[in-house]
Amino acid sequence: MIVAHRRNKIKEQLLLEKSVKVAELVKTFNVSEETIRRDLNQLEREGLVQKNYGGAILVDDFQQLSASIPPVQQRKFEYFEEKNAIGRYAAGLVGENQIVIIDSGSTTWCVASHLKMRDGLVAVTNGINIAEELLENDGSHVFLLGGKVIKKSMSLVGPVAETELQHYNADYVFMGTSGISLRKGFTSSDIYEAEIKRAMVAAGQKVVVVADHTKFQAQALIAYSAFQDVDILITSTLADPMILAEIRKLGVQVIACEAT
């Protein structure tokens, strides 16, 4: 069993049972105790668990945080003018016949809506609604990743999608985010979506995060990317300029669009 698959299985068990024991995981996966402890160390770094004697427990309020994210269809219309301006600018970075990877989400959907008529576009996405938007152009080549469907975000996640992403090399990767933290970087509220986001970041020549101003007021549970792994952050003039200045100091090109 590959490492990513085993860790996803551990996460599933945590969500169901709220805790895991090292000894039980050793038997389940037929691996060494040292291997399981490395897995739990990684999950602790991701903010998912708190280790204790003999195992680990799921951090408090994880399920409440995850459940608090509204469905993507509803989120498309929240701060639409702002997200649309961000999406328009982001789409303008892409030339003809380029390859893009587009994360699921409401702001990334706005990117797709401005990209869909780009000549010769090759797009890879885990967002069902994003694929549908891009397919309005018969000249686009759209690849939808396989995996388990998360209904509220219309996204596909899991080891199958993560493995598929290893075969792609995109000119641009457009990422959404649940929150932005000066300490943690870009964060997600869903453990499975965080795994996909990490794989997307690794598959891009240029990594672009698109985020409305509210994402700077939130820190979701799991970090999926540090600032040094992101090339461009596109937001709006509604975002706190002091925070944007700090992010620029970390080496990220920050663009603030007029939310009109």
Domain definitions of the chain by residue range: 3-60, 72-257
Query: How is residue 67 written in tokens?
Result: 């459940």
Give residue 89's pLDDT band: very low, low, confident or very high (50, 70, 90). very high
Q: Is residue 218 predicted with pLDDT exceeding 80? A: no
Closest CA to 127 of 171, 85, 75: 75
Q: How many CB atoms lie within 10 A of CB 260?
A: 9
What percent of the chain is modeled with pLDDT above 70?
90
Query: Is pLDDT at 252 greater than 60 in this prediction?
Result: yes
Query: What's the mean pLDDT when you consider all of the chain?
Result: 88
Place of tokens 């992010």: 247
- Return phi, psi of residue 193, to 5°: -65, -35
Residue 150 is predicted with a pLDDT of: 85
Give 235's strand partners.
256
Whether residue 70 is predicted with pLDDT greater than 70 in this model: the reply is no
- Residue partners of 38: CB distance under 8 A and separation at least 6: none
Whole-number pLDDT of residue 6: 82
| CATH fold of the domain at 3-60 | Arc Repressor Mutant, subunit A (1.10.10)
Query: Distance between CA 103 and CA 130 in Å, rounded?
Result: 9
Residue 106 has pLDDT above 70, yes or no: yes
8 A C-beta contact, residue 225 and residue 198: yes
- Is the pLDDT at 127 greater than 90? The verdict is yes
The pLDDT value given to residue 36: 93
Q: How many CA atoms lie within 13 A of 51 on its CB side?
A: 14
72 sits in which H/E element: helix 72-75
Pairwise pLDDT comparison (134 vs 17), residue with the higher score:
134
Whether the predicted pLDDT of 260 surpasses 80: no
Residues 179-200: pLDDT tens digits?
999 988 999 988 888 999 999 9
Domain 72-257 has CATH 3.20.20.80: no
In order of 118, 171, 255, the CA distances from 132 in angstroms are: 15, 21, 28
Q: Look at 174 and 17; give whichever has higher pLDDT.
A: 174
For the sheet containing 253-257, what is the strand order? 141-144, 122-125, 99-102, 170-175, 204-210, 232-236, 253-257
Residue 219: which pLDDT band, with cuts at 50, 70 and 90?
Answer: confident
pLDDT at 76: 57
Could you tell me which residue, 49 or 123, shows the higher pLDDT? 123
Q: What is the pLDDT of residue 115?
A: 93
> What ranges make up the beta strands (E) of 106-178?
122-125, 141-144, 148-150, 155-157, 170-175
The region of weakest confidence among 8-12, 36-40, 149-153 is 8-12
Top pLDDT among 13 and 173 is at 173
CA 11, 17, 23, 29 torsion: positive or negative? negative
